[in-house]
Amino acid sequence: MKYIVILGDGMSDHPVSELGGLTPLEAACKPCMDRLAREGCCGMLETVPEGIMPGSEAANLSVMGYNPAEILQGRGVLEAASMGLQINEGELVMRCNLICLNEEGRLKNHSAGHISSEEAAKIIHDLQEKFGSQQFSFYPGVSYRHVFIAKGLDARIKCTPPHDYLGELAAKLPIESLCEEAKETAEILNRLTAQTQEWLPKHPTNRKRIAEGKDPANSIWLWSGGYKPKMWTYQEHFGITGAVISAVDLIRGIGVYAGLKVISVEGATGLYDTNYEGKAAACLEALKDYDFVYLHVEAPDEAGHEGNAALKIQTIEDLDSRLVAPLLKGLEDTQTEAIIGLLPDHPTPVSTRAHTREPVPFAIWGPGFEPDSVSAYSEALCANGKFGLLKEDQFIKLLLGKTECAPISKYEYCANQSGDSI
């Protein structure tokens, strides 16, 4: 048996007034996802435990069966693993966004206008030349997502995810210490950030972007720091081999620690213009050699952060027609028996443009999962599915056949819920 998780990052949402009170999932035309829900079994999954910020790092770890409260060290160290960086004991690893501040010093966007990887690499290289040292190092990643590694700093600090505070004054969102010993660390990192805000607007790449009417990368944003985590692998824990397909270093890094083969797909961008068909083809090819594939698509999350309901619907429909459809056809053509799990990692409502912690809808389709009463894939309908509300590692164990398929607990879906955003 083969196993596939199709994860549409941030795909679930709240009812949207401009959509007549529907969520983007309800408004989208997605016959293949609806087929998985109609022919399979559904429910809701709590992906973010209480006390944990609803970030993609925690949510994806949870979907994959890990307890984020036990092992989560921030997304920076996960992304560093994807980039092949060697992390030593005691080194603080942080995500380093290139962001855009407006003239008032407010967070205009968390992505420097979705700066290209080529442009960003030049900036990160020059940041290293200007501010790098034996203590500080900057490493280029993909688009606006980069890594900062520091020696001798304290991880007990509070940092703000920039995508959750768009429109806010950056000066009111400094890095804060969580204990007396970490005060110096917070001061050092805030001072470094302020120095980049003075230097970056003069960078040739930013001058060129401004001349072209694009947002400049006029500040770094350091957040989600931690040390090297300790994680079991899928081979050790479940006795299976696996692969991960994603354009996002965070997800690829989780895959590295999980012992999964990281598969790159040409044209996979992490945005709405990603290569959906290429990801489907890569998944089918990977199933020849591996038992399990974690297939991640970032596009719906980015649309949610932009507050763009129409774009979010488009990403859901593209995911359905350009990835799920050819994947299902490929499985049928090759007569490959597979169990598919479909779900988001967390909601990213277009109304708040930030992650929330509500449970997410899931469908599991394949041999052994007889249809329940759910007729289509959506937040409200999946809440009435056979499995009710799952928590912790219950979803992945169900998918992989490591536990019996029995209802867990009922979940009451409230269409007017506002969520708990951070």
**pLDDT by position in tens, the chain (length 422):** 999 999 999 999 999 999 999 999 999 999 999 999 999 999 999 999 988 889 899 999 999 999 999 988 888 898 899 888 989 988 999 999 999 999 999 999 999 999 999 999 999 999 999 999 999 999 999 899 999 999 999 999 999 999 889 999 999 999 999 999 999 999 999 999 999 999 999 999 999 999 999 999 999 999 999 998 889 999 999 999 999 999 998 899 999 999 999 999 999 998 899 999 999 999 999 999 999 999 999 999 999 999 999 999 999 999 999 999 999 999 999 999 999 999 999 999 999 999 999 999 999 999 999 999 999 999 999 999 999 999 999 999 999 999 865 555 777 777 645 444 43
Q: Which amino acid is at 304?
A: G
Q: Which residues are CB-neighbours of 376 under 8 A, at least 6 positions away?
A: 34, 37, 38
Q: Which CATH number describes the domain made up of 2-72+230-399?
A: 3.40.720.10
- Quote the CA–CA distance of 384 and 373 in Å, as a whole number: 8
Q: Tell me, what's the pLDDT at 393?
A: 96
Residue 296 contacts residue 278 (beta carbons within 8 Å): no
- Angle (deg, nearest 10), helices 249-257 and 56-63: 40
Q: Which residue, among 105, 104, 150, has the nearest Cα to 131 in the 3D structure?
A: 150
Residue 51's pLDDT is: 87
Would you state the pLDDT for residue 406? 54
For 97, the enclosing helix (H) or strand (E) is strand 92-101
Instruction: Characterize the bridge pairing of strands 2-8 and 338-343.
Output: parallel
Neighbours of 415 (CB within 10 A): 12
In three-state form (DSSP H/G/I as H, E/B as E, the rest C), the secondary structure along 44-69 is EECCCCCCCCCCHHHHHHHHCCCCHH
pLDDT number for residue 353:
93
pLDDT value at position 408? 59
- How much is the pLDDT for 412? 76
**Which pLDDT value is given to residue 263?**
97
Contacts of 335 by beta carbon, 8 Å cutoff, 6+ apart: none
- Token pair of 128, please? 């290293």
User: Pairing between strand 41-45 and 261-263?
Assistant: unpaired
Q: Where are the domains of the chain?
A: 2-72+230-399, 81-226
Report the pLDDT value the prediction gives residue 419, as an integer from 0 to 100: 42
From the list 5, 41, 24, the residue with the least C-alpha distance to 384 is 41
pLDDT of residue 420: 43
Nearest to 71 by CA among 54, 85, 87, 52: 52
Write down the residue that tokens 């040390």 correspond to. Answer: 227
Tell me which DSSP letter residue 177 carries.
Answer: E
pLDDT at 404: 64
C-alpha 107/C-alpha 41 separation (Å) is: 42
Q: What is the pLDDT of residue 89?
A: 87
